[in-house]
Amino acid sequence: MKILVTYIIIFGAIILWYFPATAQERFELSDCLVYALNNSPKLKSEKFSNEKEAMIRYEGKSTFLPQIDGFLTYSNYFYDLPTYIFPQQEGSNLAGTPLDGPYPVPLGLRHNLNTGFEISQTIFDMNFFGNGDLDAHFQTYQEIKLSMAEEEMLYQVAVLFYQVAVNEEKSIFMDINLERLVKLQSIVKLQVEQGFARQTDYDKLLVKTSNLKSKKNKLQAGIKQQLGYLKLIMGMSQEEAMEIHYVDHDILNSEIMPIENGDLLEEKMLEEQRVLNKMNAKKINADYYPRLQAYAAFLFQAQRDRFNFFESNQDWYNIHQWGLKLTVPIMRGFQKKSKKEVSEIVDAQLAFGLEQKQELSQLEYDHAIIELNVAREEQVSQRENVALAERVYQQSELSFEQGTMLLMDYLDSEATLRESKMIYATSLLDTRLAELKILKASGKLKELVNQ
């Protein structure tokens, strides 16, 4: 008895542990959006891209930091030594006798090794100034790009969520209708056996049932594909269980916000691109200012008749120096003029793109409002049609049971009810998609995360 009680307790604990875990697999829209914000592969890729761009900018600024280069060169004069030419007077002194004309003298040894290191530091470069403001705008630009990627990802997730939810609702309608048809089959089969119905009517009923099963299978396959793509965008494993939980309600407030009150990221990005382009244009002149560098070099030199540089008691000769290097650009082949012309063209292109985007955003918003109004009217109309088709079906069912209606007329009323529910579900999806378009066009799509 004690063993039985122990098993019951263990089994109950497993059940209590398991069901809360399965309950967590039910995802509302806000759950999907939050999960996607934390796990979306697209967002992770965009963040990696931002980090790469930031490191590229840091790499550019690193040229203004101290630079240290080490070097090692070996040369072998395998035939003749380098010859240096001395004037007549110095040549006569070297030879000890008067000479006519220049005096060639071979200098050096066959094996030569030079090694050392050099340190350089930029003291003045106009390209260094203004990087702080440029970095701030670049950071803003990168944040806008990331927000745009988030918005696009949230829109895709929301669209797929509603498509799956509506298709699952359609699947429920089909299940109800299939249950009715299967139940009707047994009734008609009995009527055929008793001579109150024709075999043809029963065969037609089987065909309708088979066709409806085929439609349901296709719908289920579509739902599976949509759910798989939804998991992919969200960053969820395909093996992980997921159940969509949707309660129909409007996702827009009663008052639709005008587009000018939104947060239009694409327009902000174009504006930041114009700012960055203008700041880069100002830095074109920086390439034509003088540059000043300080440097120090430490050279260790050895010359040998044989390759024995690392033997002891051998002489090394040191050459150390420091200095300043001033570079003054004089002529660059009209690069400055070409760069400024390109910058002006880019600015005009961005200004034109911003103007076009503002017009397109307003047009998309206006069209979304129209689509929403049409979808809502269609939804109301189809809801009334469903109610009417429901009443017609109930009356037809009663008439068929009383034997005052033919089977095919009864099946027509059943098909009409099913079709009405399908059209209503489609109108519901159209309404939600139009609402999503309005939120996206007005820059308010992220509000869905908190609903």
**What confidence tens digit (pLDDT) does each residue in 296-325 have?**
999 988 888 888 887 777 788 888 899 988
Confidence class of residue 258 from pLDDT cuts 50, 70 and 90?
low
pLDDT computed for residue 103 by the predictor: 87
- In 246-337, the DSSP E strands lie at 291-304, 317-327
Measured CA to CA in angstroms, residue 82 lies from 78, 96, 112, 350, 395 at distances of 11, 22, 12, 61, 116
Q: What is the mean pLDDT of residues 50-78?
A: 85
**Reduced to 3 states, what is the DSSP secondary structure of residue 108?**
coil
Confidence class of residue 256 from pLDDT cuts 50, 70 and 90?
low
Per-residue pLDDT reduced to its tens digit, 119-162: 998 888 777 776 667 778 888 888 888 888 888 999 999 999 99
**CA pair distance 14, 451, nearest whole angstrom:** 33
Contacts from 70-76 at CB under 8 Å and sequence distance 24+? Answer: 70/115, 70/116, 70/117, 71/114, 71/115, 71/116, 71/117, 71/118, 72/113, 72/114, 72/115, 73/113, 73/114, 73/115, 74/111, 74/112, 74/113, 74/114, 75/112, 76/110, 76/111, 76/112
Q: ∠ at Cα 204 (199, 210), nearest 5°?
A: 125
Measured in degrees and rounded to the nearest 5, phi and psi for residue 106 equal -70, 130
Per-residue pLDDT reduced to its tens digit, 346-391: 889 888 988 888 888 888 888 888 888 898 898 889 889 989 988 8
**CA pair distance 410, 412, nearest whole angstrom:** 5
Query: Exposed/middle/buried for 289, CB within 10 Å: 0-12, 13-18, 19+?
Result: middle
pLDDT computed for residue 338 by the predictor: 83
β-partners of residue 291 are 327
Q: What single-letter DSSP state applies at residue 258?
A: P
Measured CA to CA in angstroms, residue 16 lies from 64, 200, 407, 431 at distances of 64, 53, 49, 40
Q: Is a pLDDT exceeding 90 seen at residue 230? A: yes
**CA pair distance 67, 69, nearest whole angstrom:** 7
Q: What is the mean pLDDT of the chain?
A: 83
Measured CA to CA in angstroms, residue 380 lies from 375, 394, 426, 427 at distances of 9, 21, 12, 9
Share of the chain above pLDDT 70, in %: 91
Burial 200-232 (b: 16+ CB within 10 A, else e): ebbeebeebbeebeebbeebeeebeebbeebbe
Confidence class of residue 10 from pLDDT cuts 50, 70 and 90?
very low
pLDDT computed for residue 14 by the predictor: 47
Q: What is the mean pLDDT of residues 91-99?
A: 79
Q: Is a pLDDT exceeding 70 seen at residue 11? A: no
Are 42 and 153 in contact by the 8 Å Cβ rule? The answer is yes
Per-residue pLDDT reduced to its tens digit, 23-40: 447 888 888 999 999 999
Other CB atoms within 10 A of residue 81 CB: 12
Per-residue pLDDT reduced to its tens digit, 160-202: 999 999 999 889 888 888 888 888 888 888 878 887 778 888 8
Nearest to 350 by CA among 283, 285, 268, 282: 268
**H/E element, 72:** strand 67-76
Amino acid sitting at position 367: H
Q: Which residue has the higher pLDDT, 22 or 32?
A: 32
**CA pair distance 122, 6, nearest whole angstrom:** 79
**CA pair distance 304, 146, nearest whole angstrom:** 63
pLDDT computed for residue 396 by the predictor: 83
Q: What is the mean pLDDT of residues 232-245?
A: 89
pTM of the predicted protein model = 0.74
Q: Is a pLDDT exceeding 70 seen at residue 52? A: yes
**CA pair distance 366, 370, nearest whole angstrom:** 6
Q: What is the mean pLDDT of residues 11-31?
A: 58
Least confident stretch, 139-153, 260-274, 393-407: 260-274
pLDDT computed for residue 20 by the predictor: 45
| Non-local CB neighbours of 344 within 8 Å, separated by 6+ positions | 281
Nearest to 420 by CA among 160, 177, 159, 165: 177
Q: What is the mean pLDDT of residues 238-260?
A: 74
Domains annotated on the chain, with CATH: 2-39+125-289+329-450 (1.20.1600.10), 40-124+290-328 (no CATH)
Q: Is a pLDDT exceeding 60 seen at residue 210? A: yes
pLDDT computed for residue 158 by the predictor: 92
Other CB atoms within 10 A of residue 421 CB: 22
Q: Which residue has the higher pLDDT, 207 or 22?
A: 207
**Reduced to 3 states, what is the DSSP secondary structure of residue 175?**
helix
Measured CA to CA in angstroms, residue 138 lies from 54, 180, 271, 340 at distances of 9, 64, 12, 20
pLDDT computed for residue 419 by the predictor: 87
